[in-house]
Amino acid sequence: MNIPNGLWYTKTHEWVAFAGDKARVGLTDCAQETMGGIVFVSLPSVGDEVAAGGSVGEVESVKAVSSVNSPIGGTVCAVNEALADAPETVNSAPYDAWIAELENFGGEESAREGLLSPVQYEAFCQEGI
Q: What is the CATH number of the domain that holds 35?
A: 2.40.50.100
| Spatial distance between the Cα atoms of 83 and 4, rounded to a whole number of angstroms | 21
Domain annotation covers residue 112? no
| Percent over 70 (pLDDT), the chain | 99
Domain annotation covers residue 1? no
| Spatial distance between the Cα atoms of 128 and 53, rounded to a whole number of angstroms | 21
Exposure string for 20-48, b = 16+ CB within 10 A, e = fewer: eeebbbbbbbbbbeebeebeebbbbeeeb
Handedness of CA 105, 32, 117, 6 (dihedral sign): negative
Q: 30: helix, coil or strand? A: helix
Domain annotation covers residue 94? yes
pLDDT in tens, 90-124: 999 999 999 999 999 888 888 898 999 999 999 99
pLDDT score for 129: 53
Domain annotation covers residue 128? no
pLDDT score for 127: 85
Compute the mean pLDDT over every residue in the chain, rounded to the nearest whole number: 93
Domain annotation covers residue 121? no
In the chain, the number of structural domains is 1
Q: How far is CA 32 from CA 22, 92, 106, in A?
A: 24, 9, 29
Give yes or no for a contact between 76 and 100, defined as CB atoms under 8 angstroms apart.
Answer: yes
What is the number of other CB atoms lying within 10 angstroms of the CB of residue 90? 27
pLDDT score for 13: 95
| Spatial distance between the Cα atoms of 74 and 100, rounded to a whole number of angstroms | 11
Domain annotation covers residue 113? no
pLDDT in tens, 12-69: 999 999 999 999 999 999 999 989 899 999 999 999 999 999 999 999 998 889 999 9
Domain annotation covers residue 27? yes
Residue 103 is part of which domain span?
12-107
